[in-house]
Structure 1
Amino acid sequence: MPKIRPRSDLRNNFAEISKLVHESGEPVFLTKNGHGDMVVMSIEKYESMKFESEIYEKLKEAEVEANQSDERFSHAEVFHSLRQRIRKEN
């Protein structure tokens, strides 16, 4: 269940909110006049969400590219190519 607090709690109960976001790993939603205003989360959670978003974006790009081409590679071909690149870099 989402944690929803008034925006004034950020000023008045900062330590409590900080502890809450770090221990639970979940964001706290702050309201202003009863309406959503901000989200507070730990840096770890933010970085994790950003990383996941970047992965989904790369997968979306790959899907679009795959739909524009009929060229396909087998598992063996892909890993052979990767191994060759690694050897060249080392």
Structure 2
Amino acid sequence: MITIRPVSDLRNKFPEIEETVISSNAPVFLTKNGYGTMVLMSIQQYSALTDTIEHKLDEADLSAQESPLRHSKSEVFRRVRSRIDESDSL
């Protein structure tokens, strides 16, 4: 179940929101004037979202350090666009 709270609760009811985030292991969505403004999540939830990406970026950095091969910006974007176009046609 999605939990939506007004952003004022962050100031007024922080312990309650913190308990909700930790006990439900789900993010809490905050609103301001009826519009979404931010999402609160536990460090564990955030890590689950970002660890794989961070690991892949570390691998790419290491690969770049070990290789003399360099691509221009236009070549990189051409390759990315080509891969996106290929996946769209599937």
* TM-score normalised over the length of structure 1: 0.57
Kindly provide the amino acid, as one letter, of the partner of residue 6 in structure 2: P
* Residues 1-49 of structure 1 deviation map (CA, whole Å, 9 limit, x = unaligned): 2100000000000000001101111000000000000000101110011
Q: How many residues align?
A: 59
* TM-score normalised over the length of structure 2: 0.57
Runs of 4+ in 1 over 3 A off after TM superposition: 52-55
SS at match of 2:38: strand
Write the mapping of 1:1-90 to structure 2, written as runs, cut at 5 A. 1-53=1-53
Could you tell me the percent identity over the aligned residues? Answer: 51
Kindly provide the amino acid, as one letter, of the partner of residue 45 in structure 1: Q
Greater Rg by CA: 1
CA RMSD of aligned residues (A): 2.0
* 5+ residue gaps, structure 1: 59-63, 69-90
Q: In the aligned structure 2, how far is the partner of 1:32 from the partner of 1:7?
A: 6
* Residues 27-85 of structure 1 deviation map (CA, whole Å, 9 limit, x = unaligned): 00000000000000101110011124557x78xxxxx9xxx9xxxxxxxxxxxxxxxxx
